[in-house]
Amino acid sequence: MRPDLFEAPDYYNLDDLLTEEHKMIRDAARAWVKRDVSPIIEQAAQDAKFPESIIPGLASIGAFGPYIPTEYGGAGLDQISYGLIMQEIERGDSGVRSTASVQSSLVMYPIWKYGTEEQKQKFLPKLASGEFMGSFGLTEPDHGSNPSGMVTRFKDAGDHVILNGAKLWISNSPFCDVAVVWAKDENDRIHGLIVERGMEGFTTPETHNKWSLRASATGELIFQDVKIPKSNILPGRSGLGAPLSCLDSARFGIAWGAIGAAMDCYDTALRYAKERIQFGKPIAAFQLQQKKLAEMITEITKAQLLAWRLGVLREEGKATSAQISMAKRNNVEMAINIAREARQILGGMGITGEYSIMRHMMNLESVITYEGTHDIHLLITGLDITGENAFS
Ligand code: TGC
Ligand code: FAD
């Protein structure tokens, strides 16, 4: 891959809306991605291998638990800082952002929100430092968009419970130390359980042959009569709302992250268009290419404004789940469209690993599907504005 020459677009001077601290955090994440992610990420994607060497770096920029209080090892930052960190990481690669999203919003968040003090002390500092890596098991082979139908179950057995079932499409599963798993009790009520590697009957086979998120490890979580101490059940909330509240936090991060992928594609295409000569002039001089680039920067700017406003609302505790859905849906679609257009601007070069665009484009096919598909987010908005439930 070529040297990373990324320069972030800021067409509407959105930096003016950020504090000095926001900019400092953003710039530190940006510098780390340029130094430690860009040089290795193409090879990692080609090899379909998560680059575990970047785990300490992710921890050092505050990507593991940006908004988790410092007393538990988190960075104690606000929601805009969290968003900016996700934006910068996904500028490098959506798979790396996935690892950070899962660790922060889907593992640390539920332990922090719904765990006991003992669970928080035991797991959060190690997850924040990257000593422990986590995964989140909601999706099952037969229950993706409809997690309420899950069949993974546990039974009371005195001082412990016995867990049986399987989760599919689980980011970080092949190397996770702990998994926050959602399962039904004997009364059909959903609870979160902390499953630890080494527990007998717990296995995490990797899913191979993905054409998307190749630098992120995806796999299964399989439970065959796994004995889980009752002290590993999250007591603070039960029901589907518990995992869905974690998704709110992760979807918020994706709404910002997708902007990073789009910015990288736009910046690459703009630079290429100015340098590539055809018919005696730079292709940037042709109206057809200008249309593509002008539309890209317009869509990126709109997405930046949406994400920033959502960050303010979330910080004030006012953001609704439906508002988060809208931003996730809009910004991921924006990014995937930009990746496709940017790929065309590079012509044949666009399909190679010399440039990041095709990798972003393939990654975004997962991003538009996980954390609620594009369709599901549209239906969430539909329900919110009409009051009519079109899911089932
Ligand atoms: P529904 O009846 O609407 O809701 C059940 C209960 O949950 C409450 N609720 C929420 N609570 C918090 N946050 C939200 N976003 C919530 N949405 C709903 C709701 O109020 C209700 O509470 P209560 O107290 O009345 O019981 O549930 P439903 O079964 O009709 O489903 C609704 C639907 C389809 C929107 C939901 O199931 C959904 O979002 N499906 C998509 C599944 C999904 O997003 N899976 C993601 C798996 S994790 C992942 O993909 C990680 S990718 C790795 C990475 O991030 O990088
Ligand atoms: P389905 O639910 O079977 O959907 C198939 C199609 O039907 C979609 O187009 C969908 O939009 C449509 N559809 C479904 N229901 C409706 C409806 N009511 N109305 C209209 N259309 C509908 N999950 C986790 O729990 N943890 C993870 O860490 C995780 N990581 C992932 C990593 C990757 C790379 C991928 C690809 C997925 C990951 N997922 C994870 C799972 C992800 O959340 C699911 O793939 C997603 O929720 C969709 O579920 P599904 O794939 O079963 O598709």
- pLDDT in 10s for each residue of the chain, 392 residues: 789 999 999 999 999 999 999 999 999 999 999 999 999 999 999 999 999 999 999 999 999 999 999 999 999 999 999 999 999 999 999 999 999 999 999 999 999 999 999 999 999 999 999 999 999 999 999 999 999 999 999 999 999 999 999 999 999 999 999 999 999 999 999 999 999 999 999 999 999 999 999 999 999 999 999 999 999 999 999 999 999 999 999 999 999 999 999 999 999 999 999 999 999 999 999 999 999 999 999 999 999 999 999 999 999 999 999 999 999 999 999 999 999 999 999 999 999 999 999 999 999 999 999 999 999 999 999 999 999 999 98
- Structural domain includes residue 377: yes
Same domain for 118 and 145? no
For ligand 2, pick from 93, 96, 97, 139 the residue to mutate: most ligand atoms within 8 Å of CB.
139
Report the nearest atom of ligand 1 relative to the CA of 379.
Answer: 35
Q: Which pLDDT score is estimated for 76?
A: 98
Q: Which pLDDT score is estimated for 20?
A: 98
333 is catalytic: no
- Structural domain includes residue 200: yes
Same domain for 140 and 101? no
Ligand 2: residues with CB < 6 A are: 102, 136-139, 144-145, 169-171, 213, 218, 366, 369-371, 373, 375-376, 379, 391
Q: Which pLDDT score is estimated for 50?
A: 98
CATH code, domain with 93: 1.10.540.10
Q: DSSP letters along 88-145, please?
A: HHHHH-HHHHHHHHIIIIIIIHHHHHHS-HHHHHHHHHHHHHTSS-EEEE--BTTBSS
Q: Which pLDDT score is estimated for 392?
A: 87
- Structural domain includes residue 279: yes
Same domain for 222 and 324? no
For ligand 1, pick from 240, 245, 375 the residue to mutate: most ligand atoms within 8 Å of CB.
240
- Structural domain includes residue 269: yes
Same domain for 42 and 163? no
Residue 324 lies in domain: 241-386
Task: Identify each DSSP E strand in 197-343 by its residue range.
Answer: 202-203, 218-229, 277-278, 281-282
- Structural domain includes residue 84: yes
Same domain for 122 and 138? no
- Structural domain includes residue 5: no
CATH code, domain with 214: 2.40.110.10
Closest C-alpha to ligand 1, atom 32? 146
- Using the mean position of ligand 2's atoms as its centre, give its distance from the Cα of residue 145 in Å: 5
Closest C-alpha to ligand 1, atom 10? 241
Same domain for 152 and 125? no
Q: Is 316 exposed, middle or buried (0-12, 13-18, 19+ CB in 10 A)?
A: exposed
- Using the mean position of ligand 2's atoms as its centre, give its distance from the Cα of residue 6 in Å: 32
- Using the mean position of ligand 1's atoms as its centre, give its distance from the Cα of residue 148 in Å: 8
- Using the mean position of ligand 1's atoms as its centre, give its distance from the Cα of residue 48 in Å: 30
- Structural domain includes residue 224: yes
Q: Which pLDDT score is estimated for 366?
A: 98
Q: Can you give the pTM of this predicted structure?
A: 0.98
For ligand 1, pick from 244, 310, 376 the residue to mutate: most ligand atoms within 8 Å of CB.
244
Same domain for 260 and 194? no
- Structural domain includes residue 251: yes
- Using the mean position of ligand 1's atoms as its centre, give its distance from the Cα of residue 182 in Å: 12
Q: Which pLDDT score is estimated for 202?
A: 98
**Buried-state track 60-80, b at ≥16 Cβ within 10 A, e below 16:** ebbbbbbbbeeebbbbebbbb
Same domain for 269 and 375? yes
Catalytic residue among 140, 299, 341, 371: 371
> Which domain-ending residue is among 68, 94, 129?
129
Same domain for 311 and 376? yes
Q: Is 248 in the pocket of ligand 1 (CB under 6 A)?
A: yes
Total number of domains constituting the chain: 3
Q: Which pLDDT score is estimated for 1?
A: 78
Report the nearest atom of ligand 1 relative to the CA of 389.
Answer: 30
Which ligand gives the minimal distance to the CA of 147? 1
Q: Which pLDDT score is estimated for 225?
A: 98
Same domain for 148 and 227? yes
Same domain for 31 and 46? yes
Q: Which pLDDT score is estimated for 239?
A: 98
Same domain for 325 and 259? yes
> Which domain-ending residue is among 197, 232, 267?
232
Q: Is 167 helix (H, G, I), strand (E, B) or coil?
A: strand
> Which domain-ending residue is among 104, 129, 154?
129
